[in-house]
Structures are given as structure tokens and as C-alpha cells.
Amino acid sequence: MTDSKTTNSNTLTESKNMKPTQLTTRQKVELSLSRRRAAETRFRMYGMASVFFGMLCLVVLFTDIASKGTAAFKQTSLKTEIFLDSSYLGLTKDSKVDEVRFANFEGLIKRQFAKNFKPSGRKETRELFKLISPGASWQIQEALLANPEVLDTTISIELLMDDDVDQWFKHDRDLSTDETNDRLSTKQLSWLNNWVEEGRLDTHFNTLFFTNGDSREPELAGIHGAIKGTLLTLMVTLLLSFPIGVAAAIYLEEFAPRNRMTEIVEININNLAAVPSIIFGLLGMAIFINVFGVSRSTPLLGGLVLTLMTLPTIIISARAAIKSVPPSIREAAYGLGASKNQVVFHHVLPLAMPGMLTGTILGMAQALGETAPLLMIGMVAFVVDVPGFINDPSTVLPVQIFLWSDSPERAFMERTSGAILVLLSFLVLMNTTAVILRRRLERRW
Amino acid sequence: MSTSMQHIENHITTGIPLSQNPKLAARNVDVFYGDKQAIFDVSLDIGANEVIALIGPSGCGKSTFLRTLNRMNDTIDICKIKGEILLDDENIYGADVDTVPLRARVGMVFQKPNPFPKSIYDNVAYGPRIHGLAQSRVELDETVEKSLQRAGLWNEVKDRLHAPGTGLSGGQQQRLCIARTIAVDPEVILMDEPCSALDPIATAKIEELIDELREKYTIAIVTHSMQQAARVSQRTAYFHLGQLIEVNPTKQVFTTPQHELTEAYITGRFG
């Protein structure tokens, strides 16, 4: 091996000294060889560098979101004993649900806290009460509704803390007390430090984040409403855009006469795919709300608008899938006397299905992450209730993220990242489904 | 050689283009692809139960002519046809003729084996199914078995009828395509270079098969192999630049061709 290398380099150095015209073909090839290899190596480096850069950006993005967002899945609460005083609440064990709902649990908690932690003066009392989340009274109410027998006994319960306490406990409690906390006073911090020492303050998995709708209070705000809204919206989008898109693609590809009209339709579909999505929102507002009277902020309306947006994507990918079906299969079917319909539905469609599904899922993923057109049709409204069906007011995940990212509270920032994590998991899930589905369908033959 | 590159003005086909007992009869057929004319005034009979070979250099229009015989060219938008093609004295280009029953009567086997990406059974059963030829599952099974037997494939595939047809070898795939065609029980079978993608052994099997099929069907075969034309056909038609130059009994075409272009082609001077 070494021999051949040295002879090679010898011929190279020799040939470099000669004039090009004196070189043999073989020597010319060898000369060009090193140049070609260098070009290839260079190109490979560029490629690797760009892949590396892309991966780096992705890693930075994910670590940033994950480091900010994972804290949103934890929530701070305080372990407290509370005496459920029936005379104070004005309830008996036989009280109806409605009566329980209107009982003054907030006052009960305040009375208990004032008794336990002895604030002096109105200012301190107010500060003490501010540490507790408004959701705490709802927790006690639920506990009582679940088991009326606990009335007139002392129950131990993990009470939800205010978002300022939550942020302090999760992020700032190790900081020295010299660093003033502009959200919490010295007295509040001393209570909190006491509770930490007593082991009463602790974090738990934040189930409320997944079971609640939106709220003004960060510790009570959840993504259930947004997820339900997203699912309903996507359901409407899928049910409308897949059949319409596939039917349009089949018609354009297989049945439409090749004339000026078809050409215009084709060009416009391709153009639609490039229209900024907010335009579809304006269109939805003008047509669906003003002309057809679809109610605002609903998944039905969102689905209609997103259908307009995803249709071009689905049509284009479905047409590409139909085009990629080998003509020999069509000829075989035509040769046997199959009608056009039979050729399309027995042969072309099954073979094009994997490609169509891939395009559809990509379109759906696009719709899942879409915000702009939904802002135009009122899905940016503050909706507390979880939507039941497609005609209830609701919001969707990306819009919820947009809403929270606009809030000043630190805890909402955390929730923004948490919701982004959930959205990204949905996207990954959908894309994985697309890949698996395609493999399954293609593996048949 | 310059003569071979030009059209012959007012050419009248040499030999015997007509037949005593025609199954298919082409009369003054012109075919156009857009502005370009591919076939010039071809009149040719294909007799019942005969195998006719269509030969000629590449681009001479023999495949185009074959595809006019069951209107496969209809699927090409820019293709226009003039003249008449009579199947049992009925013009298949008539105003009220439906291509679906026509193609059931005039089947086609293509150059490249093109089984459907379905099982062997479903490939053969497809034609009978869409035309409603079998009343019951049992009858369909029988049709499939009979067709595969006639195509000489039954013994090789009877244990794996539900395996994919695309998993067979090239020669087997082509015989599967023939089985698929004859499952519809056509009257005429058109074959467009059926052996060009096959090895000599598979080719021999197909040629043998063509010989057997002649008893029941009328066959028109396009081929680039003159040996094949000589082996399987009774009559041979020589096409040149879209014109039908000569039609004569195969033996005569290959021993004593009447037209100088035919002679030039079969002696290998061009093509």
C-alpha cells in the first residue's frame, strides 16, 4: 500500500512540473482527482456544519423551554389543619350541594389562619391572607362535598398557595434575605420560612394545570380548556379538509378536462398555499361570521377557518401522491375494462393513500400550531369554561400560549413554557403517528 | 439509405392486408398526437384465431396501432383517431360505443409486467369481479384456477395464491398478467412486446403459451424480436414511419419479402 502511495505522489509531483499539454490522460485524471476530492470534503464539511447548527438551535430551544416549563408542572401548597365549623358555615350534614357552594369557606380559612399565625394589625392580616390562593376555599368545599361526614371535625388539607408564594418557594427561597423580594414583605417571608422549617410547604404535581380552564390567578390557570378546544377545532378541520381536499385532488388529477379553467383553478390553489394565514382569519370573519352567522370564538368557526388554510396543503400533497401512482397500474386496470371510477377507487386511491395521509397530518400539524387566523375570529377571548362541543366558546393551545405570554405575572411565564411543552408533545405525537401510519400502509406490499 | 427515412407518397400496402375471416378490421386509420401524425392510412385485417405479428423499427407506430385496437389511446388526451376499426363488423369508434365492454372483449398484455399490488388471487379475480362474471365464490375460484392453468402458472403458485403478485419473478408476473387478461374471457388479446423484459426461458414459456392460446383467441403481438415473430405468428405486418408497408404470411415475409423496406429491415440494414 505504502509503495503505491509513494509512486502516486511521485507521478503527481512530476506531472505538476510538466506543461499541461505534455500530460498523459491518466496524469490529467490524477491531477483532477485531488481537486475533486477536496471539493467533496469541503462540501461534506459545509453539510455537517449546517446540520450541527440546526441541531444546536433545536437543543437550545428545547432546553430553554424545558427548563422554564417543567416548573409549571409543580405547584406549591401548604399543609394545614382546618376545623370545619358547621355553625360558622351555616351548614348541616344534610345540606344540599347548592347550600355548600354558597357557604363562606374563605372566611373560615381566614379565621383559622388568623388564629394560627396571629398577625398584628390590619396590614399584616391582609398580607397573611394574600399568601393563600383563592382556590383554597374551593378545595375545602370539594373536600366537604366529597365527604359530608367531616363537618365539625378538623381536617388536614394541602391548601393551594398564591402564585407569588409558589414562585418564591420554587425559585427564590435559597436567596439571602438581604435581597429584597418586591412581591413578598419581610413579615410574609418570615411566615414562609417558618412553614418551610416546619415542613408544611411542599410542591406537588400540578393536576390543576391539566384539569382547569384559563384563570386570572396563575395557580388556578390550566390548559384543559385549550386542549379540548384544540381537539374540537382539529376534529372539525380534519372532517372537512380531508374529504374535500382528497375529492378536489382526485377530480383535478383524474377527471378535470385540461383547459384554461382547470389551469386557473390549479394556479389559484398553489397560490392559496402561500397566502399568509391571517388573511384566512379575515376571510373567516367576513364570510363565516358576517354572512353565515357562525358564532364567534367557537371550535366550529376555528375549524372552518383552518380548513380553508389547510386545504391547499392537502390538495397539493394529495395530487402529488396521485401523480406518483405508476401509470402501468392504471393501464393494467383500463386494459381489463375497468371504468374510470373503478381505476381511481380500486387502484389509484389505495396506492396514493399513504402520501395523502402524510400530507393531511402535516396540514393538521400546521393547523395545530396556528394562531394568527384564530385571533381574528375571537378565539383569543378569555374563556374560563372548558368547551363541551364545537359551538361553545373556547380557545386553542397556541392562542392560550399567546395570551399567557402577554401576562405580567412570573407564574404565567412559567405556564407559557409549560403549555409550549404540551403543544410540542402533541406535534411530536402527530408526526410520529404520520410516520407509523405511512409505514403500515406502505408495508402491505 | 435515404429512402428509409422518408415517407412513401401514396403508398399502398404490399401483400395481403385483408383476411377471409376477419375478427378485427382496421380501415384507413390515421392517428395523431396533437399536430404530429403517428399512423398514416393503415388498413389491416386480423383474422379469427390467428396470431399476427406487428414488426418494425422503434417509433414506427406499431404500438400506437395496437393501442388503437382497444381504444387504450383514449386515455391520452391529445391523441386523435380517424378511420374505422371494426370488431365483428361493428365500428369500435362509433358514437355510442362504451370502452368498458370493448376492453373486456379486447384484452391487453403490456410490455412491462404490471401486476396490481394485490395478491395473486385478487389479480386474476379483479376482471371477473368488476364485470360481474362469477355468481359465487366457488365460481370465482374456478375462474381463477382455470385462468392460471391456461397461463401455465397454476402449478407454480397454487400454494400461495394469497401472496402478493408483485413478489413473483418477471416471467411469472407476465404470465400472471396474461392469466388476468384471459380471466375476463376476451375474444382478442393484444400483446405489446410481452417478452422484452424477460429472460430467454421465460420468453420461451410465453411463446409456447401464445401458441396454445391461439386455439381460443385472436392475438396481435408487437415484437422487436424477428425470431419471436417467426416462431409465434402466422402473418406478419411490417410498419415503417407510421405506414403499413407489407403484410404477408410470416414465412414469406422472412424468406422472400416483397417490399424493399421490409427486406432492408429483416436483413438488419436498419432499425
List of chain A residues whose C-beta atoms are within 8 Å of the C-beta of residue B177: 332
C-beta neighbour count of A93 within 10 angstroms: 11
| CB contact (8 A) between residue B108 and residue A445 | no
Q: Nearest residue of A to residue B122 by CA position? A: A346
Report the C-alpha gap between A180 and A170 in whole angstroms. Answer: 17
Strand order in the sheet with B14-15: B14-15, B243-249, B235-240, B51-55, B218-222, B188-192, B106-109
Distance from first CA to last CA of chain B, Å, rounded? 12
Which own/partner pairs from A147-155 qualify as long-range (CB within 8 Å, at least 24 positions apart)? A148/A93, A148/A94, A148/A95, A149/A93, A150/A84, A151/A84, A151/A86, A151/A89, A151/A91, A151/A92, A151/A93, A152/A83, A152/A84, A152/A85, A152/A86, A153/A83, A153/A84, A154/A81, A154/A82, A154/A83, A154/A84, A155/A81, A155/A82, A155/A84
Enter the ipTM. Answer: 0.88
The reply to whether A339 and A392 lie within a common domain is yes
Report the C-alpha gap between A172 and A443 in whole angstroms. Answer: 55
CA distances to A129, A321, A351, B207 from A7, in Å: 90, 54, 57, 58
The reply to whether A33 and A87 lie within a common domain is no
Q: What is the pLDDT of residue A178?
A: 52
Q: Nearest residue of B to residue A332 by CA position? A: B114
Distance from CA of A255 to the nearest CA of B (A): 11
Distance from CA of A238 to the nearest CA of B (A): 28
- Parent domain of A383: 224-443
| Chain A contact for B127 (CB, 8 A cutoff) | yes
A182's grid cell: 418586591
Q: Which of A329, A338, A351 sits opposite B114 (nearest CB)?
A: A329
Q: Which of B112, B130, B174, B184 to mutate to test the interface with A (most CBs of A within 10 A)?
A: B130
Cell numbers 376555599: residue: A137
| CB contact (8 A) between residue B131 and residue A333 | no
Q: Which amino acid is residue B92, in one-letter code?
A: I
Q: Which residues contact A249 (CB under 8 A, 6 or more apart)?
A: A314, A315, A318, A319, A321, A322, A356
Report the C-alpha gap between A310 and A287 in whole angstroms. Answer: 17
Q: What is the pLDDT of residue A181?
A: 63
List of chain B residues whose C-beta atoms are within 8 Å of the C-beta of residue A332: 110, 114-116, 177, 180
List of chain A residues whose C-beta atoms are within 8 Å of the C-beta of residue B126: 333, 336, 338, 346
| Chain A contact for B112 (CB, 8 A cutoff) | yes
- In chain A, which among 322-341 make CB contacts under 8 A with chain B? 326, 328-339
Structure confidence by residue, pLDDT tens digits, B215-250:
889 999 999 888 899 999 999 999 988 899 999 999
Structure confidence by residue, pLDDT tens digits, B50-89:
999 999 988 888 999 999 999 988 888 888 999 999 999 8
* Residue B218 contacts residue B49 (beta carbons within 8 Å): yes
| Chain A contact for B110 (CB, 8 A cutoff) | yes
Angle at A149 between CA A143 and CA A150, to 5 degrees: 50
CA distances to A38, A51, A354, A432 from A428, in Å: 39, 20, 19, 6
| Chain B contact for A353 (CB, 8 A cutoff) | no
Cα–Cα nearest to B46, from B256, B185, B217? B217
3-state helix, strand, coil in chain A (%, to 5): 70, 5, 25
The reply to whether A48 and A151 lie within a common domain is no
Share of chain B above pLDDT 70, in %: 97
Angle at A149 between CA A146 and CA A154, to 5 degrees: 100
| CB contact (8 A) between residue B75 and residue A332 | no
Q: Nearest residue of A to residue B181 by CA position? A: A336
Cα–Cα nearest to B178, from B194, B158, B200, B163? B194
* Residue A423 contacts residue A80 (beta carbons within 8 Å): no
User: What CATH number is given to the structural domain containing A314?
Assistant: 1.10.3720.10
- The residue among A13, A48, A69 that closes a domain is A69
Q: What is the pLDDT of residue B1?
A: 42
The per-residue pLDDT string of chain A (445 residues; one tens digit each, 9 = 90 and over) reads 444 444 454 555 554 555 656 788 888 888 889 889 999 999 999 999 999 999 999 999 989 988 888 888 888 888 888 888 888 888 887 778 888 888 888 888 888 888 888 888 888 888 888 888 888 888 888 888 888 888 888 888 888 888 888 888 888 777 655 555 677 777 788 888 888 888 888 888 888 888 888 888 888 888 898 899 999 999 999 999 999 999 999 999 988 888 899 999 999 998 988 889 899 989 888 888 888 888 888 889 999 999 999 999 999 999 999 999 888 899 899 999 899 999 999 999 989 988 898 889 889 998 998 888 888 888 888 888 888 888 888 888 999 999 898 888 888 888 899 999 999 999 999 889 888 888 887 755 4
B33's grid cell: 398526437
Q: Which residues contact A24 (CB under 8 A, 6 or more apart)?
A: none
Cα–Cα nearest to B62, from B234, B224, B172, B174? B224
The reply to whether A276 and A396 lie within a common domain is yes
List of chain A residues whose C-beta atoms are within 8 Å of the C-beta of residue B127: 336-337
Angle at A137 between CA A131 and CA A139, to 5 degrees: 105
Report the C-alpha gap between A123 and A126 in whole angstroms. Answer: 5
| CB contact (8 A) between residue A337 and residue B184 | yes
| CB contact (8 A) between residue B104 and residue A337 | yes
Angle at B20 between CA B16 and CA B26, to 5 degrees: 65
Cα–Cα nearest to A159, from A194, A108, A210? A108
| CB contact (8 A) between residue A331 and residue B117 | no
Cα–Cα nearest to A301, from A287, A312, A311? A287
Q: Which of B72, B115, B131 sits opposite A335 (nearest CB)?
A: B72
Mode of pairing for the β-strands spanning B243-249 and B235-240: antiparallel
* Residue A379 contacts residue A399 (beta carbons within 8 Å): yes
- The residue among A69, A94, A114 that closes a domain is A69
Give the total number of structural domains in chain A.
Answer: 3
Distance from CA of B240 to the nearest CA of A (A): 26
Q: What is the pLDDT of residue A5?
A: 46
Q: What is A17-34 written as a DSSP string?
A: HS-GGG--HHHHHHHHHH
Cell numbers 360558622: residue: A88
Report the C-alpha gap between A344 and A260 in whole angstroms. Answer: 24
Report the C-alpha gap between A132 and A110 in whole angstroms. Answer: 9
Angle at A50 between CA A48 and CA A52, to 5 degrees: 65
Structure confidence by residue, pLDDT tens digits, B123-168:
999 999 999 888 899 999 999 999 998 888 899 999 999 999 989 9
Range B2-266 classified under CATH 3.40.50.300: yes
Cα–Cα nearest to A224, from A75, A66, A391, A387? A387
Cα–Cα nearest to A322, from A234, A368, A256? A256
| CB contact (8 A) between residue A331 and residue B166 | no
SS3 B221: strand
Report the C-alpha gap between A355 and A340 in whole angstroms. Answer: 21
Cell numbers 456544519: residue: A49
* Residue B240 contacts residue B60 (beta carbons within 8 Å): yes
Q: What is the pLDDT of residue A13?
A: 52
Report the C-alpha gap between A309 and A280 in whole angstroms. Answer: 6
List of chain A residues whose C-beta atoms are within 8 Å of the C-beta of residue B130: 336-339, 342, 346
Q: Nearest residue of B to residue A350 by CA position? A: B117
* Residue A107 contacts residue A141 (beta carbons within 8 Å): no
Distance from CA of B32 to the nearest CA of A (A): 18
Q: Which amino acid is residue A202, in one-letter code?
A: D
Cell numbers 382547569: residue: A212
Mean pLDDT across chain B, nearest whole number?
88
| CB contact (8 A) between residue B103 and residue A332 | no
CA distances to B178, B220, B249 from B48, in Å: 19, 11, 15
Cα–Cα nearest to A442, from A325, A340, A323? A325
The reply to whether A58 and A177 lie within a common domain is no
- The residue among A182, A202, A219 that closes a domain is A219
List of chain A residues whose C-beta atoms are within 8 Å of the C-beta of residue B132: none
CA distances to B1, B15, B262 from B5, in Å: 7, 22, 13
| CB contact (8 A) between residue B100 and residue A445 | no
| CB contact (8 A) between residue B127 and residue A346 | no
The whole-number average pLDDT for the span B93-101 is: 88
Q: Which amino acid is residue A244, in one-letter code?
A: I
Helical ranges in A285-409 per DSSP H: 299-323, 327-335, 340-342, 349-368, 372-376, 397-405
